[in-house]
A and B are shown apart, each in its own frame.
Chain A
Amino acid sequence: MKRNTTLLVLAAALLATVITSVAVGPVWIAPQKIAAMLANLVVPGNHTWSEAEAIIIFQIRLPRTFMALLVGSGLAVAGVAMQALFKNPLADPYVLGASSGAGFGAALIISLGVVSAIFVPLAAFSGAIIASFTVYALSMIGPRSSVSLLLLSGIALSTFFSALISYLMFVAGSNLQELVFWLMGGLWASTWQYVEITFPVVLVGTIILYAYARDLNLMLSGEESAQHLGVAVENLKRILLVTVSFIVGVAVAFCGIIGFVGLIVPHVVRTFTGPDHKALIPASALFGGILLIWADIIARSAIPGTEVPVGIITALLGAPFFMYLVRSKRKNIF
């Protein structure tokens, strides 16, 4: 009952957030006009808006808002899964090295001067997947993987790729700007095509993680205990790692490295849902979407005429809030 109320409130908040996001921008478009435009898709009616307004809404703001929603949700549920797997409140979706792997892939393509809307995301996605799987392979001891080794391999690989990225930036010259922007994370390039690719990955990924909610709860009491309670631990790890790699890979490929969402959202949500993953996963998906859409609204309207990378906003606002949360609700952080 309480869980459903929480989810309902979050869903309503998400709807309001989406409408706000579509309305706000250099050109203000009243919410009733937006509502009319959307209604027109179902039941054709009178055109109360201009053609330019329709383009702004449908070709720019809607895909961008959906992208923010999907990436925010995806990173949040990936963060939940990683924190459960590592039983570490500091784990986030990037611990497996996917971010630096993707960063290296993108940096390589950009510094080679291949300017194409498809190649950069493709290289970034490949980098993320390769990095995650390398980290998993490095963490194997016999037939099992060690979680602490997983964490350490992730850190080692991230450091290695970061060094390579720095080197590429050092020699990049004129292409530097594009690379820096990409590394800071942003949603300005969002198109419907991006949404079409991201949507199924995030949706299926979230459903898979939700299906294993019970197992994730059991993982919190330790790997061996989880197995004693019937969890096929090694199998679960593989499923989590593949799912998280795909979600993170897609997110990073299209939007760069947006930090902090995957770390902070699970913690915030846990304070009102408790540790049960059956509530934590859907609530985190909704809250992650809300958070990133708002961050993007701020990113594109804070300084008129220009745009701040959204990764800067999430970190700038997220870090102090996170500290406040950790200090005031210390007992609830896991």
Chain B
Amino acid sequence: MRILGEERRSETEGAGRVQVDGVDCYYVQTHALNNAQLTVRPGEVIGLVGPNGSGKTTLIKAISGVLKPQVGIITLDDVDVYQIKPKRLAQQMAVVPQSTDTFFFDFTVEEAVLMGRNPHIKFLGTESTHDFDAVQKALAMTDVARFADRKINELSGGEQQRVIIARALAQEPKILLLDEATSQLDIGIKIEIFDLVRRLAASGIAVIAAIHDLNLAAQYCDRLLLLKRGEILADGTVEEVLTQEHIAEAFGVSALVRKHPITNAFSITLLPQHTPGARSSAKVHVIPGGGKGAPIIHALVQRGLSVSAGVVNTLDTDYDVAQYFSIECAVEAPFSPISSEVHSRNLQLIQEASIVVLPNICFGPANLKNLEAAELAADKLVIVEETRIESRDFTLGVAQHMYEDLKNNLPVFTELTTLLAYVEAHIG
């Protein structure tokens, strides 16, 4: 008896290694997946990212055995998944779909999760105590145990999806496929579910998840696969895949990619599309510093104006933004005083500009030259003042004196919107 039992064990218990090799999938006319290549090892969390229609769902379907690829092969522990009987495959691989047919929702939560045991129950067989244990475990892990006797259609959307996830976990799979399983859930539940995914991965389960939210993907995946129109654009670590260039290529949008200073997690901020070419030949120059120039540069570029900036130090946020928008810039090394060479470059930019904006920046000995530059801009200068100059002066009154002289006969704005109105009125 024992030998028989062990044989059955070794039959169903492979390592759970999935290999996708040169897979092409077509829907009637469209080429949904082209030469897809992927190896998934136990304990790995792989995120599939990419825009709608990029082939994430197609790849999930191909791996899960419901969409046979026309070219290439997908193997599970070196066996073609399309040669494995559905029941046998379901013992090792579970899928959480985007949505489930509502006809299913008349079942109670426990009945539904018990159906996850179907692959382990023989034809005409009945549930064993292990089956019920697995169900209880799955109910507890997904935090739906307290709804066990309720009908699914009485639950909220988030709870319903957790029931479907519980059903997948009841299968006790080696590989878990999530097809945008959390895209309709609110952020708290998303995080709960992906925390659970990490714990599952730690216990040796391989997870392949199609994820819409790039930040979520960056936070929880060991590896990402970036797809676009069926092609794999990038495959590697989060850092390797989520670059500004890749995101621009895949999604056609601009993004700021940075590491969060506290959590060290990646954060991707998608930026509104900016028009690359300038509409107006008239230029606006911004004298930035300490991040105060960034919102103004952004707003001006957004309005299709040609913008320059300077002098700015390379570690400043304003520098990042200027670089991002690739505008003309007088740049100084970090924490260094403005050299005369960079200063004259700045003056040149100011000369070319029709309007010069002096944001609400602080002044110290290092950037006092910027205030001199502002002075030289003469009647082209406009000032944005959000806080009093006294609080921003670190030059023992030198800057304050110069600033107040300037302020006397120049337009001063307290809000970005009024500044923009002024700029637009003066540059058509």
A interface residue count range (under 10 / 10 to 19 / 20 to 34 / 35 or more): 20 to 34
Contact present for A214 and B121 (CB under 8 Å) = yes
Give Cα distance in the complex from A217 to B112, angstroms: 9
- B151 to chain A: closest residue by CB: A274
The segment from B89-97, B192-200, B287-295, B320-328 found at the interface with A is B89-97
Report which of B66, B87, B106, B115 forms a contact with A232, defined as CB distance below 8 A.
B87
Interface set, chain B 110-164, CB cutoff 8 A to A: 111, 115-116, 118-119, 121, 123-124, 153
Give Cα distance in the complex from A331 to B86, angstroms: 33
Contact present for B101 and A220 (CB under 8 Å) = yes
Number of B residues, CB within 8 Å of A: 32
User: Residues 80-92 of chain B: 1 if any A CB is under 8 Å from the residue's CB, otherwise 0?
Assistant: 0000011111110
Least Cβ–Cβ distance between A143 and chain B, in angstroms: 8
Give Cα distance in the complex from A229 to B85, angstroms: 11
Q: A222 near B: Cβ within 8 Å? A: yes
Which residues of chain B come closer than 8 Å to A215, judged between CB atoms?
118
Contact present for B104 and A230 (CB under 8 Å) = no
Report which of B66, B97, B118 forms a contact with A230, defined as CB distance below 8 A.
B118
Which residues of chain A come closer than 8 Å to B86, judged between CB atoms?
227, 230-233
Contact present for A225 and B95 (CB under 8 Å) = yes
Q: From known contacts A214-B121, A220-B103, A334-B103, infer whether A232 and B65 are also in contact, taking CB-CB under 8 Å.
A: no
Q: B380 near A: Cβ within 8 Å? A: no
Report which of A222, A227, A232 forms a contact with B104, defined as CB distance below 8 A.
A222
Which residues of chain B come closer than 8 Å to A214, judged between CB atoms?
115, 118, 121
- B111 to chain A: closest residue by CB: A276
Contact present for A211 and B101 (CB under 8 Å) = no
Least Cβ–Cβ distance between A221 and chain B, in angstroms: 4
Q: B100 near A: Cβ within 8 Å? A: yes
Which residues of chain B come closer than 8 Å to A217, judged between CB atoms?
107, 115
Contact present for B103 and A87 (CB under 8 Å) = yes
User: Residues 77-88 of chain A: 1 if any B CB is under 8 Å from the residue's CB, otherwise 0?
Assistant: 000000000010
Give Cα distance in the complex from A220 to B64, angstroms: 19
Q: A14 near B: Cβ within 8 Å? A: no
Contact present for B104 and A221 (CB under 8 Å) = yes
Least Cβ–Cβ distance between A237 and chain B, in angstroms: 13
User: Residues 249-280 of chain A: 1 if any B CB is under 8 Å from the residue's CB, otherwise 0?
Assistant: 00000000000000000000000001110000
Which residues of chain A come closer than 8 Å to B106, judged between CB atoms?
220, 274-275, 332, 334
Contact present for B116 and A229 (CB under 8 Å) = yes
User: Residues 4-31 of chain A: 1 if any B CB is under 8 Å from the residue's CB, otherwise 0?
Assistant: 0000000000000000000000000000
Q: B190 near A: Cβ within 8 Å? A: no
Give the residue among A218, A228, A231 with the most B Cβ atoms within 10 A: A228
Which residues of chain A come closer than 8 Å to B153, judged between CB atoms?
331
Report which of B95, B104, B111, B121 forms a contact with A228, defined as CB distance below 8 A.
B95
Q: From known contacts A214-B121, A217-B107, infer whether A232 and B85 are also in contact, taking CB-CB under 8 Å.
A: yes
User: Residues 212-250 of chain A: 1 if any B CB is under 8 Å from the residue's CB, otherwise 0?
Assistant: 001101101110110111111100000000000000000
Least Cβ–Cβ distance between B275 and chain A, in angstroms: 43
Which residues of chain B come closer than 8 Å to A274, judged between CB atoms?
106-107
Interface set, chain B 358-403, CB cutoff 8 A to A: none
Interface set, chain A 86-101, CB cutoff 8 A to B: 87
Which residues of chain B come closer than 8 Å to A275, judged between CB atoms?
103, 106-107
Least Cβ–Cβ distance between A88 and chain B, in angstroms: 9
- A229 to chain B: closest residue by CB: B118
- A274 to chain B: closest residue by CB: B106
Q: Can you offer 28 A-B residue contacts whose CB atoms are under 8 A?
A: A214-B115, A214-B118, A215-B118, A218-B115, A218-B118, A220-B106, A220-B107, A221-B101, A221-B104, A221-B115, A222-B101, A224-B97, A225-B95, A225-B101, A227-B86, A228-B65, A228-B90, A228-B94, A228-B95, A228-B97, A230-B87, A230-B91, A230-B119, A231-B86, A231-B118, A232-B85, A276-B107, A276-B111
Give me the 10 closest cross-chain CB pairs, A-B, nearest first.
A230-B119, A230-B90, A221-B104, A230-B87, A228-B95, A275-B106, A222-B101, A220-B103, A220-B104, A232-B86
